[in-house]
Amino acid sequence: MDKLHLMKVFIAVAEALSFAAAARNLSMSPPAVTRAITTLENHLKTKLLIRTTRHVRLSEAGLRYLEDVKRICQTIVEADEVAMGVNAEPRGHLTITAPALFGKMYVLPGMIDYLQRNPAMSVSALLLDRVVSMLDEGVDVAIRIGELADSSMNAIRVGQVRRVLCASPNYLEQHGTPKNLTELSTHTLITASNIGNLWKFGDQSSATRLQIQPRLSVTTHDAAIDAAIHGLGITRVLSYQIAASLDSGSLSTLLDDYQPPSMPIHILHSEGRHTSAKVRAFVDMMVRQLRENPALH
């Protein structure tokens, strides 16, 4: 009995929830797939799949077994890649997550570079302004901004960013530059709705909370930044989001001394000692690119 073969057949049936579809995917005959599942269930002395004339579904034991055998098969793949050496060609599929705007500005160019270098790879990108569960959503690599919660994930620090208040030089020339947080409240303020109207300043021990009344509230940081560039008022964003605008002079920062401490940027992955070639290649490339970017330090 080839146990690994039986595991792979079970995974194919469990993911397709169909013996016929699994047979097509594996280039096997349906009877051969049925025999493989029967052999595996007899060996385990438990029912993994519940079949009716119209449906196939996993039993409770099957659900647990699926998670375990997928992990075993992935470990075998990784061990093979390690044995082939660091020059093994990355192949397969990679799922990556990052904050939306950060992902668009800094991670997407890296993904394009990665795909161009590795033709046997495909990538899915979850660019979202929420913390994606790597385990629940099958994510291989995550880029996170902010302090990390305790986790078993491997974390590599690649930079830092800070919150900044900014406005166009034209706006500040017309309306003056606020010298403290009290004066800030008298200005036209712009906010992204996912940040909210409560702006916190200073560190944890001496935090100041300012309940603002924005004149413009938008759904994205891009829109808030564009409104500030066009001279409407003052907005609050992360430093990396306006790095190019600061360099060009279309925006200026203000009240920097009131801002909270910088926040770290980490790359996270869940793989252990035998990191697969596909993850290792992407992580190594992104670590290098992000650490070399002056906007992230």
pLDDT at 9 over 70: yes
Mean pLDDT of all residues in 200-217: 86
Mean pLDDT of all residues in 27-44: 92
Q: How deeply is 61 buried, as exposed, middle or buried, from its count of CB atoms within 10 A (0-12, 13-18, 19+)?
A: middle
What does the pLDDT look like over 215-243, one tens digit per residue? 999 988 999 999 999 999 999 999 999 99
Q: Which of 84, 106, 137 is the last residue of a domain?
A: 84
Mean pLDDT of all residues in 187-197: 85
Q: Which long-range contacts (CB under 8 A, 24 or more apart) does 98-102 make?
A: 98/125, 98/126, 98/127, 98/142, 98/143, 99/127, 99/128, 99/129, 99/143, 99/145, 100/127, 100/128, 100/129, 100/220, 101/220, 101/221, 101/222, 101/241, 102/143, 102/145, 102/238, 102/240, 102/241
Question: How far from chain centre, in Å, is Cα 129?
Answer: 9
Confidence band for 273, pLDDT divided at 50, 70 and 90: low
Q: How far apart are CA 122 and CA 92, in angstroms?
A: 6
Question: Is residue 32 helix, strand or coil?
Answer: helix
The pair of structure tokens assigned to 282 is 């992407």
Q: Which of 46, 65, 84 is the last residue of a domain?
A: 84
Mean pLDDT of all residues in 33-50: 92
Q: For residue 8, which phi and psi values (nearest 5 degrees)?
A: -65, -40
Q: Are 160 and 265 in contact (CB under 8 A)?
A: yes
Which of 61-65, 114-118, 270-274 is predicted with the least confidence, judged by mean pLDDT? 270-274
The pair of structure tokens assigned to 186 is 């008298």
* Residue 176 shares a structural domain with residue 210: yes
Domain interval for residue 39: 3-84
What does the pLDDT look like over 77-96, one tens digit per residue? 767 766 665 557 888 899 99
Which of 17-31, 72-86, 254-268 is predicted with the least confidence, judged by mean pLDDT? 72-86
pLDDT on residue 276: 80
* Residue 46 shares a structural domain with residue 10: yes
pLDDT at 277 over 90: no
* Residue 274 shares a structural domain with residue 151: yes
pLDDT on residue 121: 95
pLDDT on residue 274: 58
Mean pLDDT of all residues in 280-286: 94
pLDDT on residue 148: 86
Q: What angle do CA 210, 211, 213 make, to 5 degrees?
A: 125
CATH number at residue 157: 3.40.190.10
pLDDT on residue 32: 92
CATH number at residue 76: 1.10.10.10
pLDDT on residue 244: 93
pLDDT at 205 over 80: no
Phi-psi region of 60 (alpha: psi -120 to 50; beta: other; left: phi over 0): alpha
pLDDT on residue 265: 96
pTM over 0.85: no
pLDDT on residue 1: 67
Q: How many domains does the chain have?
A: 3
| Average pLDDT of the chain to the nearest whole number | 89
pLDDT on residue 141: 95
* Residue 239 shares a structural domain with residue 178: yes
pLDDT on residue 149: 79
pLDDT at 118 over 90: yes
Mean pLDDT of all residues in 245-262: 94
For residue 47, give every residue at least 6 positions away whose Cβ sits within 8 Å of its Cβ, in sequence order, or none: 41, 59, 61, 62
* Residue 147 shares a structural domain with residue 233: no
Range list of β-strands (E), 70-153: 92-98, 121-127, 141-145
* Residue 142 shares a structural domain with residue 108: yes
pLDDT on residue 116: 96
* Residue 230 shares a structural domain with residue 203: yes
* Residue 108 shares a structural domain with residue 135: yes
- With CA atoms as reference, report the closest residue to 79 among 272, 244, 289, 267: 272
pLDDT on residue 106: 95
Question: Is residue 182 helix, strand or coil?
Answer: helix
pLDDT on residue 83: 67
Q: How deeply is 208 buried, as exposed, middle or buried, from its count of CB atoms within 10 A (0-12, 13-18, 19+)?
A: exposed
Question: Is residue 130 helix, strand or coil?
Answer: coil
* Residue 250 shares a structural domain with residue 281: no
* Residue 147 shares a structural domain with residue 274: yes
* Residue 62 shares a structural domain with residue 8: yes
* Residue 167 shares a structural domain with residue 213: yes
- In 3-state terms, the chain is what percent helix, strand and coil (to 5)? 45, 25, 30
